[in-house]
């Protein structure tokens, strides 16, 4: 029971990190390697909120929207200054954003105390939920709830709002969308804002699990990309299932072997899966040849 529940929580964190990517990578084709650093920005935002609102019971709920907006704004700036010029060269966005990530990391190292900053868990997350004899930490339950809320909000937003409809229209056929009067430029900006903002939310969740420092984003970026790829590009449900599966696999491997070997095995599992099914779990049928 323990590995399954732990793994679900690990999967939820992975999902939070991957959700924004599935939007920017899946919907827009932009490979944002600075996504991990946006996650870091969200965590630092949580720290800064905690400096203002010192009661941690209140500060984390406040930090969630703040981190969303702050990371989203960083994303918006990146889109407006750099990414907008790169839509015709998606592979190059990968390298440009590597550069952006390096700069953000170094800036964080110099702005904040180098050994990292503390982010405190709210008191209402102390304690455990006993399920079949296993004391399941409430913090893990919280991560899963947060991920669920984010996924629900995102899919409702994409499905039912006019913004969401315009985003999907732009993704399916940019030229046609434009001829119907949709401003694809503002759609791009909005999508990138939301995608980056979700990284910020993931950052708050990550700050409750590990250290908040300049290096924290780096450990999430590759697993998050693998999850998006394994789920199938542009497929929210695929991302959800892939994240959960990777999280549970990681946890079971860690249970049977060591923490280090679990990382390797989980990576290999996803890589082998992608060899067998390069299009991911779910695919959008297109008439494209490739």
Partner 1 sequence: MTKPRTTGLKPWISLSGIGVFAVLLLAVAPLVLTDHWLNNLGKYCCWAIAAVGIGLAWGRGGMLVMGQGVFFALGAYSMAMHLTLETAGDRIPGFMVLYDPLAPLPMFWEPFRSAGFTLLAIVLLPVVVAGALGYALFKRRVKGAYFAILTQALAVALAVLISSTIRETGGDTGLSDFKYFFGFVLNDPANRQMVYLIAAALLIVCLLAVWQFYRSRFGELLVATRDAEERVRFLGYDPANIKLVAFIVSALMASIGGALFVPIVGIITPAEIGAAASIFMIAGVALGGRASLFGPALGAMAVGWGQSSLGSTWPDGWTYVLGLLFIVVILFLPNGLSSLPARLAAARRKPDVPPTPAIAAAELEEARS
Partner 2 sequence: MSSTSKRMRALVATGAIGTTMALVLAGCGARAGDDTAGAGSSAAASCVDTSGDTVKLGFLNSLTGGMAISEKTVSNVLHMATDEINADGGILGKKIEYVQEDGATDWPTFAEKTEKLLTQDCVAAIFGGWTSSSRKAVKPVVEKFNGLFFYPVQYEGLESSPNIYYTGATTNQQIIPAMDFLAAKGVKTLFLAGSDYVFPRTANAIIKLYAANLGIKIVGEEYVPLDKDDWTSQVAKIAAAKPDFIFNTINGSSNVGFIKAYYDAGLTPAKTPIISVSIAEEEAPAMGHEVTGHYASWNYFQSLKTDTNPEFIKNWKAYPNSSGVTSDPMEAAYISLYLYKALVEAAGSFDVNAVNAAAKSKTITFDAPEGKVTLDGENHHISKPGHIGRINADNQFDIVWASDKFIEPDPYLEGYDWFPADIRKQLTDAAG
Name the residues that contact partner 1, by CB under 8 A: 25, 29, 31, 82, 85-86, 88-92, 94-96, 98-103, 105-106, 110, 218, 222, 225-226, 229, 258, 260-261, 263-264, 267-268, 270-271, 274-275, 278, 286, 288-290
The distance from CA 97 to its chain's CA centroid, rounded to whole angstroms, is 16
Asked if 265 touches partner 2 (CB under 8 A), the answer is: no
Among residues 88, 91, 111, 115, the one that binds partner 2 under rule CB under 8 A: 115
Among residues 23, 104, 171, 216, the one that binds partner 2 under rule CB under 8 A: 216
| From the list partner 1, partner 2, none, partner contacted by residue 61 (C-beta under 5 to 8 A by kind) | none
Distance CA 101, CA 151 (A): 25
Burial grade of 12 (CB within 10 A; 0-12, 13-18, 19 or more): buried
Binding span for partner 2 by CB under 8 A among 86-94, 110-118, 147-155, 166-174 = 110-118
Choose between 164 and 211: whose C-beta lies nearer to partner 2. 211
Choose between 132 and 290: whose C-beta lies nearer to partner 1. 290
Asked if 64 touches partner 2 (CB under 8 A), the answer is: no
Query: How far from 251 is each of 95, 96, 122, CA to CA, in Å?
Result: 32, 34, 25
Choose between 179 and 275: whose C-beta lies nearer to partner 1. 275
Among residues 29, 65, 164, 211, the one that binds partner 2 under rule CB under 8 A: 211
Asked if 16 touches partner 2 (CB under 8 A), the answer is: no
Distance CA 85, CA 70 (A): 23
Query: Are 199 and 39 in contact, with CB atoms under 8 Å apart?
Result: yes
- The nearest distance, CB 226 to partner 1, in angstroms, is 6
Count of Cβ atoms closer than 10 Å to residue 229 Cβ: 25
Asked if 8 touches partner 2 (CB under 8 A), the answer is: no
- The nearest distance, CB 271 to partner 2, in angstroms, is 18
What residues line the site for partner 2 (CB under 8 A)? 2-3, 6-7, 9-10, 13, 106, 109, 113-121, 125-128, 135, 137-140, 206-216, 218-219, 250-251, 254-255, 258-260, 262-263
């Amino acid at each position: 029971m323990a590995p399954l529940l732990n793994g679900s929580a690990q999967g939820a964190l992975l999902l939070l990190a991957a959700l924004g990517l599935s939007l920017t990578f899946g919907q827009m084709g932009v490979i944002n390697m600075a996504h991990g650093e946006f996650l870091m920005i969200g965590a630092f935002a949580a720290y800064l909120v905690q400096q203002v609102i010192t009661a941690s019971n209140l500060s984390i709920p406040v930090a969630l929207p703040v981190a969303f907006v702050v990371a989203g704004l960083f994303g918006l700036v990146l889109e407006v200054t750099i990414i907008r010029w790169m839509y015709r060269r998606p592979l190059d966005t990968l390298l440009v954003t590597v550069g952006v990530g390096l700069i953000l990391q170094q800036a964080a190292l110099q702005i904040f105390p180098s050994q990292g900053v503390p982010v405190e868990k709210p008191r209402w997350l102390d304690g455990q939920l006993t399920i079949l004899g296993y004391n399941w930490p409430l913090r893990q339950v919280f991560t899963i709830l947060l991920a669920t809320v984010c996924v629900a909000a995102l899919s409702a937003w994409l499905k039912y709002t006019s913004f969401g409809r315009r985003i999907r229209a732009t993704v399916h056929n940019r030229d046609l969308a434009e001829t119907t009067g949709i401003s694809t430029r503002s759609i791009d900006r909005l999508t990138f804002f939301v995608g980056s903002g979700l990284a910020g939310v993931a950052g708050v969740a990550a700050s409750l699990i590990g250290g908040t420092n300049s290096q924290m984003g780096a450990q999430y970026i590759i697993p998050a990309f693998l999850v998006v790829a394994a789920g199938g590009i542009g497929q929210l449900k695929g991302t959800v299932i892939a994240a959960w599966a990777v999280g549970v696999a990681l946890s079971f491997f860690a249970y049977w072997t060591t923490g280090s070997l679990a990382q390797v095995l989980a990576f290999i599992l996803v890589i082998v899966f992608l060899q067998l099914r390069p299009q991911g779990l779910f695919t959008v049928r297109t008439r494209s040849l490739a």
